[in-house]
Structures are given as C-alpha cells and as structure tokens.
Amino acid sequence: MKILNEFLKKRLITKYIFELTPALRNGYGLQEQYTVPQIENTAKKCKLSMRYIPYAIALYRHEETYRTIKLYRINQSFLDILRKEISDWFFDGDQYRIRNVVDLSKSKTWKGGTCSAERTG
C-alpha cells in the first residue's frame, strides 16, 4: 500500500510541475515564490487534486507564511521536509528554486501550453 501511495503522490507532484508551473507563470509572471492563494487558485482552475497541495506549496515556496501554518500546518521545518522529498525525487537531492521547477517543466516531454481552465476561458 505504501508503494502505491508513493507512486500516486509522485505522479500528482509531476502534474503540479507540468501543469501548475506554466499556469502560475502565465497568471502571475515568474516570481521568486508564489503565494499560497495563488497556488491554491491556480490548482483549482487547472482542476488539479488538492489532496497533496502541501507538495505544491513546497514546490513554489521556500519560506513558511501565516497561511501555510494556519491552513495547512506547514511550518518551516515541515516545509523543509517536503522540499527535501521533492528534491530527492526530481532534483537529484539538490536544493531548488522556482527557476529550477520552471526549467524542469520545460523538459523534452513538456508540450507547452497552460492548464485546460486557461485554454478555454
């Protein structure tokens, strides 16, 4: 069961990278960090699962905020743990920033474009 959960989690994080990154960039420009409301709203517009939204937050934020703590109970220590897990899976264990996530989203398999919500409306 744990292996299945890890597979599903990694698959969803991959969707966050390849669908959420272009949508965030198109909607808000390239930023050092995105706000939690920007991440939440864009994920909803893209109809992405909110089940692992803490990982989306960890992809696009490297600092805790009042909102990460209040709504998701993600303090800096927990954020660092999530970021380390993402780093191990996608960045060979290296620290990453938004630019690294953007670069990853443009890899060979990326076809360009934005989430379906932005394409249709």
Q: Average pLDDT per run of 10 along the chain, which is 121 residues long?
A: 82 94 96 96 95 95 96 96 95 94 76 51 42
DSSP 3-state of 75: coil
pLDDT of 44: 97
The secondary structure of the chain in percent helix, strand, coil, rounded to multiples of 5, reads: 65, 0, 35
pLDDT of 2: 75
pLDDT of 45: 97
pLDDT of 107: 66
pLDDT of 120: 42
Residue 55 is encoded by which pair of tokens?
């990982």
Q: Report pTM.
A: 0.83
- How far is Cα 63 from Cα 71, in angstroms, rounded to an integer? 15
Q: How many angstroms from the chain centroid is the CA of residue 99?
A: 12
pLDDT of 87: 96
- Amino acid letter for position 95: Q
pLDDT of 121: 42
pLDDT of 1: 65
pLDDT of 110: 46
Which of 11, 16, 75, 62 shows the shortest CA–CA distance to 42? 16
Residues contacting residue 64 through CB under 8 Å, at least 6 positions apart: 74, 75, 76, 79
Domain boundaries, the chain: 2-107
